[in-house]
């Protein structure tokens, strides 16, 4: 793991201005445990121990229905089907949760769901319409690599050292990472450090930030890894120099930790980036693993362990319970051989993931990370207190749905197959893609919704179609089942849309509503009920 060809490891590497108290991972301990020994249960146990959740915890657990809906949305990107709900609720075995998790993780849609998640984490800017083509190919590529069981560090390596010179044709590839960054060294540097290391270099692009950990020089030194090596008159290659726009300043590639680099000869563009990614994989701070764990955590738990996710290297984030949790999980992730399946399964198997959400969030009035309004106080003060606060974990976060989750869940609720050819290529801009783009959310834990989105969910053509028998297979089969009582029909719509039975009080409300509108047909009644349920916040959140 050490002694890389390109890098001389200095005895005492100059660290990123971090406090000495931060937890260094001793490579020795990891080196002796062969990859693959870490099991998901180890990760789940670690999470629960650090969050102070044991089996005798007082915090209430999610009901079976709530758990199934949550884990299905997180792992498969959609709500459970009526059949899945019935089967799960009828199952009383201890193993039912584990089996549901395994079944979902083995489904093809799991890779596609995670591909969307990772693509969005790495190139969030590719969610704008101008990059639509980029997104599709890149996500397909990520999905294929995940399906092949590619370890996370290798996935990153394949992206960062991608060679765009040979003609790729229409093959899937990570070229989208470069296109979304307009193939400019400065954009690629900012994206690479942010996406893969959780380091925010954006500020340093223009100036040395007052609080900063990073200088403008370091920004452009990182950018230089993405420039083309120079060929001298004598045929020898030289590391490139990049010039800061509108200045005479020029910078050659250098690592953020200032390790000395031995340049190979000849040096080409891919070889240059290999040095960078080698350092990312082996640097003692393990930002590569910590960033992956932190982001993946946010997929399952809402807020990340450390927020903002783009600033993991801040001094004040190196100590405290949160840093310790992140560090422990990162260590296990590395020891697993960067195995994403182990990490994912470990997170969803934890007690922490199973907690109920029906607790009023105390954070409700606190400004969130992307909160709007002028900054009256130094933003660091806020996140500092937040990240060093002791970890109290007594309920699950309520999260919004991504555009993809919302579309696939509407289809599922209506008994329709989510239009997908698994990892195959969609033809053009599909209705799913259009809808998902219209309902794009940046982060689910603080998702917002626009008026246009709300209008579309109430009056749009898709919803309109789904409220009729002909456009909604679930309604069609309920309506053509004469043996079902009105109560049973209502209950079935609840199960289809909300993944749970209707409660008595709800049944009463619905039946009263039906009775108050005697002119409506049964199809209209049930269509109206479907319309109402897909417009509730219960359907529109993961809780």
Partner 1 sequence: MISHPLSRRMTLKGLAVSVAGWSTTSWLPALADVTQSAPTKPKSVILIWLNGGPATIDLWDLKPQHANGGAFRPIATQVPGMEISEHLPMLAGCANDFSLIRSMSTREGDHSRARLVSLTGYTPQGAIKFPAVGSLVAHEFQVSHDIPAYVHIGGRPTVTNGGFLGPQYAPFVVGERGRRDAPGSGSLRVADLAPSSIEQQSERLQLLTGLSAQSPVSAASVVGALDSAQDRALRLMNPQAASAFQLEEESAAVRETYGLGQFGQGCLMARRLVERGVSFVEVTLDGWDTHSNNFERVKELSQQLDRGCATLLKELRERGLLEETLVVCQGEFGRTPRINGQSGRDHWPSSWSMMLAGAGIRGGQVVGSTSADGIEVESSPVRTPDLMATIFRSIGLDPRKQNMSNVGRPIRLADPEGQALEELL
Considering only residues 95 to 124 of the shown chain, the ones binding partner 1 according to CB under 8 A are: 124
- Work out whether 89 is an interface residue with partner 1 (CB under 8 A): no
- Hey, what are 533's tokens? 């349920």
Residue 138 CB, shortest distance to partner 1, in Å, is 15
Determine the Cα–Cα distance for residues 199 and 221; give it in Å rounded to an integer: 15
Q: Tell me whether residue 130 or residue 265 sits nearer to partner 1 (CB atom).
A: 130
Q: Tell me whether residue 104 or residue 493 sits nearer to partner 1 (CB atom).
A: 493
- Work out whether 430 is an interface residue with partner 1 (CB under 8 A): no
- Work out whether 370 is an interface residue with partner 1 (CB under 8 A): yes
- Work out whether 447 is an interface residue with partner 1 (CB under 8 A): yes
Work out whether the CA dihedral 278, 283, 288, 293 comes out positive or negative: positive
CB atoms within 10 A of CB 396: 25
Among 61, 236, 358, 389, binds partner 1 (CB under 8 A): 358
Considering only residues 391 to 410 of the shown chain, the ones binding partner 1 according to CB under 8 A are: 395, 397-400
- Hey, what are 214's tokens? 């990073």
- Hey, what are 382's tokens? 């806020």
List of residues 6+ apart from 425 with CB closer than 8 A:
136, 140
- Work out whether 525 is an interface residue with partner 1 (CB under 8 A): yes
- What's 197's DSSP letter? I
272, containing H or E segment? helix 269-282
Q: Tell me whether residue 39 or residue 535 sits nearer to partner 1 (CB atom).
A: 535
Among 9, 106, 363, 421, binds partner 1 (CB under 8 A): 363
Determine the Cα–Cα distance for residues 57 and 60; give it in Å rounded to an integer: 8
Give the interface size with partner 1 as a residue count (CB under 8 A). 88
Residue 72 CB, shortest distance to partner 1, in Å, is 17
Among 2, 21, 247, 374, binds partner 1 (CB under 8 A): 374
Residue 292 CB, shortest distance to partner 1, in Å, is 17
Residue 310 CB, shortest distance to partner 1, in Å, is 5
- Work out whether 276 is an interface residue with partner 1 (CB under 8 A): no
Among 90, 167, 233, 375, binds partner 1 (CB under 8 A): 375
Considering only residues 119 to 138 of the shown chain, the ones binding partner 1 according to CB under 8 A are: 124-125, 128-130
Residue 359 CB, shortest distance to partner 1, in Å, is 6
Determine the Cα–Cα distance for residues 230 and 235; give it in Å rounded to an integer: 10
Among 452, 481, 487, 488, binds partner 1 (CB under 8 A): 452
String of DSSP letters for 161-196: T---SS--TT---THHHHHHTTT-HHHHHHHHIIII
- Work out whether 381 is an interface residue with partner 1 (CB under 8 A): no
3-state secondary structure at position 253:
coil
Determine the Cα–Cα distance for residues 60 and 227; give it in Å rounded to an integer: 54
Considering only residues 479 to 508 of the shown chain, the ones binding partner 1 according to CB under 8 A are: 503, 505-506
Determine the Cα–Cα distance for residues 360 and 397; give it in Å rounded to an integer: 10
- Work out whether 385 is an interface residue with partner 1 (CB under 8 A): no
- Hey, what are 478's tokens? 């309920």
Q: Tell me whether residue 33 or residue 446 sits nearer to partner 1 (CB atom).
A: 446
- Work out whether 316 is an interface residue with partner 1 (CB under 8 A): no
Tally: H helices and E strands in the chain: 25, 8
Determine the Cα–Cα distance for residues 402 and 117; give it in Å rounded to an integer: 10
- Work out whether 61 is an interface residue with partner 1 (CB under 8 A): no
- Work out whether 532 is an interface residue with partner 1 (CB under 8 A): yes
Q: Are 357 and 398 in contact (CB under 8 A)?
A: yes
Considering only residues 176 to 215 of the shown chain, the ones binding partner 1 according to CB under 8 A are: 187, 190-191, 194, 200-203, 205
């Amino acid at each position: 793991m050490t002694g890389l060809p390109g890098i001389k490891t200095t005895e005492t590497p100059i660290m990123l201005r971090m406090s000495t108290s931060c937890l260094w991972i001793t490579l020795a301990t990891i080196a002796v445990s062969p990859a693959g020994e870490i099991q998901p249960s180890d990760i789940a146990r670690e999470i629960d121990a650090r969050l102070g959740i044991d089996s005798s915890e007082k915090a209430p657990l999610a009901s079976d229905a709530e758990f199934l809906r949550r884990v299905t949305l997180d792992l498969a990107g959609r709500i459970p089907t009526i059949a899945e709900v019935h089967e799960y609720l009828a199952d009383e075995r201890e193993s039912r949760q584990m089996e549901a998790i395994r079944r979902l993780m083995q489904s093809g849609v799991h890779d596609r769901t995670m591909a969307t998640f990772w693509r969005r984490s790495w190139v969030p800017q590719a969610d704008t319409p101008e990059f639509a083509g980029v997104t599709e190919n890149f996500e397909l590529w990520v999905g294929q690599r995940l399906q092949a069981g590619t370890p996370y560090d290798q996935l990153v390596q394949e992206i960062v050292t991608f060679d765009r010179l040979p003609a790729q044709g229409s093959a899937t590839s990570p070229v989208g990472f470069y296109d979304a960054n307009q193939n400019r060294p400065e954009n690629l540097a900012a994206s690479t450090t942010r996406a893969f290391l959780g380091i925010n270099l954006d500020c340093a692009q223009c100036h040395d930030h007052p609080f900063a950990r990073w200088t403008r020089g370091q920004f452009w030194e990182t950018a230089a890894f993405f420039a083309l090596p120079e060929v001298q008159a004598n045929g020898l290659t030289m590391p490139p120099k990049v010039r800061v726009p509108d200045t005479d300043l020029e910078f050659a590639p250098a690592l953020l930790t200032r390790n000395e680099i031995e340049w190979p000869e000849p040096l080409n563009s891919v070889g240059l980036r290999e040095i960078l990614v080698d350092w990312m994989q082996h640097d003692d701070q393990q930002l590569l693993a910590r960033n992956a764990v932190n982001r993946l955590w946010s997929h399952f738990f809402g807020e990340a362990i450390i927020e903002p996710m783009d600033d993991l290297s801040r001094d004040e984030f190196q100590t405290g319970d949160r840093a310790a949790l992140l560090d422990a999980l990162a260590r296990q992730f590395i020891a697993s051989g960067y195995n994403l399946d182990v990490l994912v399964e470990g997170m969803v198997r934890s007690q922490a993931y199973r907690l109920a959400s029906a607790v009023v969030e105390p954070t409700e009035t606190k400004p969130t990370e992307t909160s709007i309004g002028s900054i009256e106080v130094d933003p660091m003060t806020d996140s500092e207190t937040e990240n060093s606060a002791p970890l109290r974990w007594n309920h699950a976060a309520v999260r919004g749905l991504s555009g993809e989750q919302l579309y696939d869940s509407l289809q599922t609720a209506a008994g329709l197959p989510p239009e997908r050819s698994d990892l195959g290529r969609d033809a053009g801009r599909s209705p799913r893609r259009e809808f998902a783009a219209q309902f794009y959310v940046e982060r689910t834990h603080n998702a917002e919704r626009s008026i246009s989105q709300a209008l579309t969910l109430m009056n749009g053509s898709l919803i309109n179609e789904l409220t009729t028998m002909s456009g909604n297979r679930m309604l069609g089969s309920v309506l053509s089942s004469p043996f079902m009582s009105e109560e049973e029909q209502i209950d079935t719509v609840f199960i289809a849309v909300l993944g749970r039975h209707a409660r008595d009080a709800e049944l009463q409300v619905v039946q009263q509503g039906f009775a108050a509108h005697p002119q409506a047909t049964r199809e209209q009644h049930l269509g109206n009920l479907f319309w109402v349920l897909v417009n509730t916040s219960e359907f529109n959140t993961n809780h």
